[in-house]
């Protein structure tokens, strides 16, 4: 009981997670003709199967970051900033997918039987090339990186910041080098990150910069 009381703020994670998965399953299975998203620059980006590693590491990165801010970090405001950012972005993604069904046709025909190709082949099998805008892989990655880089405990821990920055960059790049997303999906996700940052983090930053009032 003490555990449930101490971490009662975390109930929102499984509650929202269930609702999100149900909504995502619906938009994935409904029969609609998607609007194909494509940019000319996408044709010049080569396919690279080795990016499947950071792409799959996304699941561990997001889970570990949320776990840290939910159960280890004592600053509940930072936890709610991260959770609300993820929730807003993922909800807007569902709404966009409902209003504007979208997809892409960038995936190449896979040949060979190497371990990396097999992992990509499995990814293509379980994940449809629809509902790609904005990229949730990119949005959640950037949202977690923002939380990590703003966390005061990590300010003097360059190794953690470097690892998060490098992994985050590789995850973002993996979405386009695996032909999972167009460049427009990536840009759309980052624009959404900027919106959430302005909404959830910027007010605090502005207040911190304001000089203290001197009472006479």
For the chain, what are the domain ranges?
A: 2-199
Q: What is the pLDDT of residues 142-168, one digit of tens each?
A: 999 999 999 988 988 999 999 999 999
Q: Is 56 exposed, middle or buried (0-12, 13-18, 19+ CB in 10 A)?
A: middle
Tokens of 9: 């703020």
Q: Which residue has the higher pLDDT, 216 or 190?
A: 190
Give me the residue label for tokens 């994670």: 13
Q: Percentage of the chain surpassing pLDDT 90?
A: 81
Q: What is the pLDDT of residues 86-145, one digit of tens each?
A: 999 999 999 999 999 999 999 999 988 899 999 999 999 999 999 999 999 999 999 999
Residue 135's φ and ψ, nearest 5 degrees, are: -70, 115
Q: Give bridge partners of residue 103 from the DSSP assignment.
A: 36, 130
State how far the Cα of 204 lies from the Cα of 158, in Å rounded to an integer. 24
Q: Is the link from the previous residue into 134 a cis peptide, with omega within 30 of 0? A: yes
Residue 19: predicted pLDDT: 96
Pairing mode, if any, of strands 35-36 and 102-103?
A: parallel
Q: What is the pTM of this model?
A: 0.89
pLDDT at 216 over 50: no
Tokens of 153: 């405990």
Q: Is 84 exposed, middle or buried (0-12, 13-18, 19+ CB in 10 A)?
A: middle
Helix or strand holding residue 180 (H, E): none
Q: What is the mean pLDDT of the chain?
A: 91
Tokens of 114: 């190497």
Tokens of 12: 């929102």
Residue 3: predicted pLDDT: 67
Residue pair 120/110 in contact by the 8 Å Cβ criterion: yes
Residue 196: predicted pLDDT: 96
């Amino acid at each position: 009981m003490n555990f449930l009381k101490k971490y009662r703020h975390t109930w929102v994670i499984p509650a929202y997670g269930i609702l999100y998965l149900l909504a995502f399953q619906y938009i994935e299975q409904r029969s609609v003709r998607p609007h194909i998203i494509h940019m000319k620059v996408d044709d010049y980006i080569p396919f690279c199967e080795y990016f499947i590693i950071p792409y799959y590491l996304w699941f561990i990165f997001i889970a570990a970051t949320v776990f840290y801010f939910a159960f280890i970090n004592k600053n509940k405001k930072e936890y709610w900033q991260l959770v609300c950012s993820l929730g807003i972005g993922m909800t807007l993604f569902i709404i966009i997918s409902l209003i504007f069904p979208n997809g892409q046709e960038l995936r190449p025909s896979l040949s060979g039987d190497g371990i990396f190709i097999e992992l990509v082949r499995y990814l293509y099998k379980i994940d449809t090339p629809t509902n790609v805008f904005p990229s949730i892989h990119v949005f959640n990655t950037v949202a977690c990186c923002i939380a990590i880089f703003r966390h005061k405990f990590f300010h003097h821990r360059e190794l953690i910041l470097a690892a998060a920055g490098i992994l985050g960059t590789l995850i973002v790049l993996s979405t386009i080098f695996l032909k999972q997303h167009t460049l427009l999906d990536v840009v759309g996700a980052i624009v959404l990150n900027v919106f959430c940052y302005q909404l959830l983090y910027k007010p605090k930053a502005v207040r911190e910069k304001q000089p203290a009032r001197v009472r006479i």
